[in-house]
Amino acid sequence: MKIHKEGIKIIPIAFFTIAVVDVIVYIFLQEYLIFYPLMAASLILAGLVVYFFRIPKREIIKNENHVLAPADGKIVEVKEVVEEEYFKDKRLQISIFMSPLNVHQNRAPVSGEITFIKHHRGAFYPAFVEKSSHLNERCTTVFKDKNGVEVLARQIAGTVARRICNYKKPGDKTEQGVEYGFIRFGSRVDVFLPPDAKVLVEYGVNTVGGKTVLAEI
């Protein structure tokens, strides 16, 4: 396991902030019983910051007929919808909610070419709420496989998440299971599939990015 590059930027700032707070607590509260719980809480918080940016090593089993989960989390939506931004027709939507304790690296659901990327500024409703899909800050990425099938993955910020990172651009080639983005601190990823895709997951299932097979196409 290693620390994500986004963590290399944030962890030192977080540690410095925690250290400053600890010094203030020590100066003013060291003689009170609450001092020890506060010190313990600061250590736990520091550990959680590091834990959030972890990147576990995973063996990716590629299959051109499979759509892999782009994120760790829990399935909160499986339904047919009209996707209005890119396809503008009916699609199967699978939504994955990522809690702050999940790995927040996002992985390509299929191998192929990036044909579309668009970032939208927006609100910060809780990521598990349905309206977050079209009202929150979000970034849409479309992957086109060698057979011409397109899969759309939409990174969505949540109440705590305040930055969506996408490391690709239109025209880039990518491999299934390879990182294409990252979302800081709690979020959601919506995946839009062709209407005839065979969905292999259901509501409530926990997913592992790059491992769980969402559907066959």
Tell me if 107 sits within 8 A of 117, measured CB to CB. no
CA distances to 52, 76, 89, 182 from 70, rounded to whole Å, are 17, 14, 22, 10
* Mean pLDDT of successive 10-residue stretches along the chain, which has 217 residues: 90 96 94 93 95 93 97 96 96 94 95 96 63 75 97 86 85 97 86 98 97 97
Diameter over CA atoms, the chain: 69
- Residue 100's pLDDT is 84
CA distance 114 to 143: 5
Q: Which CATH superfamily is domain 66-216 in?
A: Glucose Permease (Domain IIA) (2.70.70.10)
Bridging pattern class, strands 73-83 and 138-144 = unpaired
- Residue 123's pLDDT is 64
Phi, psi of 206 (to 5 degrees): -85, 135
187 carries an active-site annotation: yes
- Residue 121's pLDDT is 84
Task: Give the H or E element holding residue 7.
Answer: helix 5-29
Q: 210's torsion region: left (phi>0), alpha (psi -120 to 50) or beta?
A: left
Among residues 95, 111, 133, 187, the one annotated as catalytic is 187
Structure pTM?
0.88
Neighbours of 139 (CB within 10 A): 20
Domain boundary assignment for the chain: 2-55, 66-216
Nearest C-alpha neighbor of 102 from the set 76, 131, 64, 137:
76
- Residue 172's pLDDT is 98
